[in-house]
Amino acid sequence: MKLEQEKTQKEADIKIKNGEVVALQKELDAVSNTVKQLELQKAEAQKRLDELDDKVTSTDTNCTVRSTTDHTLIKLKFCLVTS
């Protein structure tokens, strides 16, 4: 009698664990799909940035500004965006 109860309990535990495995697999699949989508979006964003970089023409204009708080020199580089 006791062995049968233990067997029934073990079978129930196995069913629960199998359900957890299925749920975790579904979650893994969803996260994997999200990662793939984000990688595609990242590639598209990088492509757009590269296109914008091609449109930006840097000038040799540099400006030195003295900070009033810590008296360090800050160099600013100005860029012109061409249309």
Nearest 10 degrees: CA dihedral of 54, 56, 61, 62? -90
Domain boundaries, the chain: 2-81
CA distance 25 to 37: 18
Asked whether the beta carbons of 80 and 59 are under 8 A apart, the reply is yes
pLDDT at site 70? 52
In this prediction the pTM is: 0.56
For residue 61, is pLDDT > 50?
no
With a cut of 80, say whether residue 41 has pLDDT above it: yes
Question: Do the beta carbons of residue 44 and residue 64 sit within 8 Å?
Answer: no
Which of the four pLDDT bands, split at 50, 70 and 90, describes residue 79?
A: very low
Q: Residue 55: which residues within 8 A CB-CB, separation 6 or more?
A: 81, 82, 83
Please state the rounded mean pLDDT for residues 38-47.
Answer: 95
- Residue-wise pLDDT for 7-36, tens only, equals 999 999 999 999 999 999 999 999 999 999
